[in-house]
């Protein structure tokens, strides 16, 4: 199939494909801020504002990367590993008796520090050497560990637990919605890219038929405010998080951009990697200042190009503009803010299981060899083991307390040690 990239489609065709791009991005990724708001107990107004800021950042980031970054038909999307980091920091701080203000302040600190590291790695060209650390198997292990870390909160939310007991009616509703959404995500044909959005909308409508109240919106346009998470709160224990996420960012983005470039028949060189690393660092700084989950070039762009046969940067640019406009329209954020938590969790689980499958596929990209099995087996066992350690157990360990509570970090670190330092001195294939 020949993919359109450099040509500019007719005006109405650009609008059509741009709208498709924007709707697909919302369909696959908007449940992240919804789940974050549910887990952090944001009220309806704070949830609405978070969703508006997210839409705005999705559009701005996509446009900036198209104009000044990688310049490839790849949209920016919420990074799943950042969602996992948010959850880990929240659990750790609250377990130590901290408040939600401290949680958000430390999250802001980590995002800003990560953005600075990403920027410096690009400017100093250090990324040219570091990118070799994260093979596809390491990225796969990261995705699997993130899914396992998040699964507890998602399943508990689907069960509708109140006062230590499940709500049978809500549990039946949420798991039914999960299986329906999963089936359509696997066998939905052209609707597969939009199944998450359809699940959120239709699931909410069905839930509201049971009496869930609608949020009253009194504004039409609304400008998101900066500093929504409050000022950064420095915690030196979180520095390893920032280093870890910066490396994962480059591993993820290089795979996404290179994959799309190969599909479109263009070449991505070291200069291009440095350029979108600079833009990516700036976007992380903007995410920290605005109070949103940071973004990364999305691998799902490749699937959309394959499905539509259109890789036009012009059409994606229009899609980015659509997202910016949506981020300024208050009723859009208000609608998604009223989505019941069991609906958000059910749809989210259908996406997370696909992410886990993608992770296992990356783990064994080189085949089911003993080497791959050993790396995955040891790192997943160690990482998951650390996830079961009670939050706050390492509170008395200076500087490394938060790091040792991060099962994702420990698991990936274990994989890196085995992959690059233990197995290279053995004869194992």
d(CA 18, CA 320): 8
DSSP letters spanning 292-349: ---EEE-THHHHHHHHHSB--HHHHHHHHHHHHHHHHBHHHHHHHHTS-HHHHHHHHH
d(CA 21, CA 9): 14
Q: Which residue has the tokens 């799943």?
A: 80
Nearest to 114 by CA among 253, 1, 248, 313: 248
d(CA 181, CA 331): 25
The answer for residues whose C-beta is within 8 angstroms of residue 119's C-beta and 6 or more apart is 277, 278, 280, 281, 282, 284, 285
In angstroms and rounded to an integer, the radius of gyration of the C-alpha atoms of the chain is: 21
Residuewise pLDDT in 10s, the chain (429 residues):
444 444 455 666 777 777 777 877 777 788 789 889 888 988 878 888 898 899 999 999 999 999 998 888 888 988 888 988 898 888 888 877 889 999 999 999 999 999 999 999 999 887 766 666 767 777 788 878 878 877 877 788 788 776 778 878 888 888 888 888 888 877 766 666 667 777 777 887 887 776 544 445 545 566 667 788 999 999 888 888 898 889 888 877 877 787 788 778 787 777 888 888 999 999 999 999 999 999 998 877 776 776 666 677 888 888 899 899 888 887 777 777 777 778 878 877 877 787 788 778 878 776 778 888 888 899 999 988 988 887 667 767 766 666 777 788 888 889 888 888 887 756 555
**Structure-token pair, residue 14:** 């650009």
Q: What is the pTM of this model?
A: 0.80
Half-sphere exposure of 384 (CA within 13 A, CB side): 14
């Amino acid at each position: 199939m020949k993919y359109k990239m450099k040509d500019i489609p007719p005006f109405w065709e650009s609008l059509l494909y741009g709208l498709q791009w924007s709707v697909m991005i919302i369909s696959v990724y908007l449940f992240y801020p919804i789940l974050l708001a549910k887990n952090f107990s944001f009220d309806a107004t704070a949830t609405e504002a978070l969703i508006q800021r997210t839409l705005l950042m999705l559009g701005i980031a996509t446009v900036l990367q198209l104009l000044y970054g990688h310049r490839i038909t790849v949209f920016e999307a919420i990074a799943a590993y950042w969602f996992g980091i948010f959850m880990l920091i929240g659990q750790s701080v609250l377990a130590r008796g901290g408040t939600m203000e401290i949680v958000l302040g430390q999250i802001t600190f980590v995002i800003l520090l990560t953005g600075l590291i990403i920027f410096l790695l690009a400017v100093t060209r250090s990324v040219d050497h570091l990118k070799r650390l994260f093979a596809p198997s390491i990225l796969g292990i990261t995705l699997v560990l993130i899914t396992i870390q998040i699964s507890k909160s998602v399943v508990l939310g689907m069960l509708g637990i109140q006062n230590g007991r499940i709500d049978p009616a809500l549990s039946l509703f949420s798991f039914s919605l999960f299986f329906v959404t999963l089936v359509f995500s696997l066998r939905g044909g052209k609707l597969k890219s939009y199944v998450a959005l359809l699940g959120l909308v239709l699931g909410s409508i069905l839930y509201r038929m049971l009496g869930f109240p609608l949020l009253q919106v009194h504004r039409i346009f609304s400008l998101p405010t900066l500093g929504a998470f409050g000022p950064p709160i420095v915690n030196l224990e979180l520095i390893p998080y920032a280093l870890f996420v910066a490396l994962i960012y480059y591993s993820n983005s290089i795979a996404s951009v290179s994959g799309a470039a190969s599909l479109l028949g263009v070449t991505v060189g070291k200069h291009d990697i440095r350029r979108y690393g600079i833009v990516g660092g700036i976007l992380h700084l903007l995410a920290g200042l605005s109070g949103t989950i940071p973004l990364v070039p999305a691998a799902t762009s490749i699937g959309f190009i394959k499905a539509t046969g259109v890789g036009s940067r012009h059409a994606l640019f229009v899609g980015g503009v659509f997202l910016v406009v949506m981020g300024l329209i208050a009723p859009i954020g208000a609608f998604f803010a009223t989505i019941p938590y069991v609906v958000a969790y059910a749809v989210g689980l259908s996406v997370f299981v696909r992410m886990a499958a993608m992770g296992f596929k990356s783990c064994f990209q080189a085949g089911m060899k003993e080497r791959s099995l050993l790396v995955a087996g040891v790192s997943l066992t160690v990482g998951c083991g650390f996830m079961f350690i009670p939050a706050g157990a390492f509170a008395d360990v200076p500087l490394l307390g938060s790091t040792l509570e991060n099962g994702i970090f420990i698991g990936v670190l274990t994989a890196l040690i085995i992959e690059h330092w233990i197995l290279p001195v053995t004869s194992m294939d």
